[in-house]
Amino acid sequence: MATNHLDMTGKNVLITGGSRGLGREMALGFAEQGANIAIVSRKLDSCEETAKEVEALGVKAFPYACHVGDWQQLDEMVDKVYQAFGAVDVLINNAGMSPLYPSLDQVTEELFDKVIGVNLKGPFRLSANVGTRMQAAGGGCIINISSTASLNASPNAEPYGAAKAGLNALTKSFAYGLGPEVRVNCIIAGPFLTDISKAWDMEAFNERARASIPLARGGQPNEIVGAALYLASDSAAFTTAALLAVDGGSH
């Protein structure tokens, strides 16, 4: 009988930004493999909608509204998730934001702090809080979702690229700080055609993709799931501090 190396039966997975886009796809992908899912994002109704989809797959879901850039809200959320599930085996720091701005000199302090808060401060606090609990429990896995903006020039998204570069650095540092019990890895995501892409000029994007991406296209949201499942699974037992690009070759 073939072994399912990605089996997550009985595991508890906490996903920030879990109600839409890549987060929703990972929530459903892990649920299909038997995991219970805590779905966290700013809007409770959106979390509850995804929770229904998760529960329809025969596992438990815990929807919770939280601002990932707010330290105190994060701590309260983690307490609630542990009360609901008893443990967290996998933390996926997926929540992100990259607001548009007209020019660099018009980036306000409020916008800058908000981008750093959601993309870097939140993952730091969650990894420290949940990761320490995982250590005490004897094991666990943290997956950070970064961006090719962390590696490449990111015109019109400079604070976002800087925050994600910081997340890459945190991945390696936390792998040392929480090891050997906890593995910490990072997926560097390229351009994915999530609901955010509806605002893109797709004709211009497709032209750029053909010229600059080896696979000549953007990613479908479900195409991140296999990488996340691998990093969370026992198949990746010797993988930590890794930066795995899932970007069609665009980095």
Give Cα 111 to chain centroid, integer Å: 21
3-state secondary structure of 36: strand
Catalytic residues: 160
Distance of alpha carbon 233 from alpha carbon 26, whole angstroms: 14
- Classified as helix, coil or strand, 15 is strand
DSSP string, 98-154: ----S-GGG--HHHHHHHHIIIIIHHHHHHHHHHHHHHHHT-EEEEEEEEGGGTS--
**Among candidate residues 227, 246, 97, 102, the one with its CA nearest the CA of residue 164:** 97
Instruction: Compute how many other C-beta atoms are within 10 angstroms of the C-beta atom of residue 5.
Output: 11
User: CA of 58: how far to CAs of 38, 51, 52, 84, 214, in Å?
Assistant: 14, 11, 10, 17, 38
